[in-house]
Amino acid sequence: MRRLALLSAVLAFPAMADPTPADVQGIMQRDFHPRGQATMDRVVQDGLQRVCTETRDRPPADVAKALEADQLKTIVYPEGSLMGDWKRGEAIAQSGRGLTWNDKPGDPAGGSCYNCHELSPKELSHGTIGPSLRGFGKTRGTGPEVQRYVYGKIYNAKAYNACSQMPRLGASGTLTAAQIKDLVALLLDPASPVNE
């Protein structure tokens, strides 16, 4: 009897065939509740996110180019080498910790890279939202220009694709410069499992 009542309630609920961005924002504001360090600012879109939402991730080419140029200006490159330690990078790529309501503010966050990418052939579980990064350094090299690109892409992917689904890990403060350098090494170092 309970199942029948639940099914009736679901069928009677009016479905949103094609919610507008305003509908989605309203639902997020209604249903998200601040807790710990997870505050309401997380559901507020910045201008770039709003443009991507309103154009369904297909802004006009000239708008996308201007947005990417603005995002490129946010990338802060550290002095010296952009390659850290690939072993620490692997731990960061594996870690999904950080920035949830019950995490201690200031504790290091992980990159959660395997949630979206294939990196090491030894890792059986990985996401497919992002491209496979297996052999990344082997096929692209490890020179300064590649290091700079990889660092920038991790720091703020929207500088290279305005509506990228990849988070702005450095620009948002999720990862530190040292952590990003370790991820650069994970992708480029010939000894890294990514390049086996």
C-alpha–C-alpha distance, residues 112 and 132, integer Å: 14
Cα 59 from Cα 83, distance rounded (Å):
34
Cα 164 from Cα 154, distance rounded (Å): 11
Mean local confidence (pLDDT), 162-186: 96
Length of the chain: 196
Domain residue ranges of the chain, discontinuous segments joined by +: 2-56, 86-195
Instruction: Report which listed range, 24-33, 100-109, 122-131, is most confident.
Output: 122-131
- Output the pTM of the full model: 0.85
Rounded Cα distance, 35 and 32, in Å: 9
Q: 29: Cβ–Cβ under 8 A, 6 or more apart, which residues? A: 40, 43
CATH of 86-195, one of 3.30.565.10, 1.10.760.10, 2.40.128.720, 3.30.70.920: 1.10.760.10
